[in-house]
Amino acid sequence: MSTLGTYLTHDHHACDDLFAAAENAVAAGDWPHAQQEFERFDAGMRRHFSMEEDVLFPAFEARTGMSGGPTFVMREEHRQMNNLLAEMVAALARRDSQAYLGQSETLLMLMRQHNMKEENILYPMSDQALADRQSELLAAMEAVTAP
């Protein structure tokens, strides 16, 4: 059985692959493909954020009593990433590869830092604190669909 951290880390990698496909399509100027790949990436990110914000974070906060710590920081970073995603949507609509690629570079740096914090700090803490609820929480995350 997968741990919460392993499951969510795998999802990080899946989102990274979707991100790269969208960025490559924009760089190639293939706008219909870029739109399709971006929509897949955006849905993957929104699903990932929901798995964390609607399932993992509330369970972690309830168990540990920490609501102003790592989950607060992660939610704030999710908000920042959502703002960048909105700017990328606008750049796609304008078919502005320079704007899109600039925003995607910023998003990539933020995602790398964010994922490192989750994978090295929050997920191990969650695995330890929520070990007895792992199966239940994994099933709840599996059931999440992109908003």
Proportion of the chain above pLDDT 90, given as a percent: 94
Q: What is the CATH number of the domain that holds 72?
A: 1.20.120.520
> Exposed e or buried b for every residue in 59-77, given b needs 16+ CB within 10 A?
bbbeebeeeeebbeebeeb
137: in domain:
yes
pLDDT tens per residue across span 34-93: 999 999 999 999 999 999 999 999 999 999 998 888 999 999 999 999 999 999 999 999
The reported pLDDT for the residue numbered 43 is 97
65: in domain:
yes
Domain range enclosing 74: 4-142
Distance CA 27, CA 62 (A): 44
pLDDT of 146 above 70: yes
43: in domain:
yes
- Region 90-107: mean pLDDT is 97
120: in domain:
yes
DSSP H helical ranges for the chain: 4-27, 31-50, 57-64, 70-94, 97-117, 123-129, 134-142
147: in domain:
no
Distance CA 117, CA 44 (A): 19
Proportion of the chain above pLDDT 70, given as a percent: 99
How many domains does the chain contain in total? 1
The reported pLDDT for the residue numbered 104 is 97
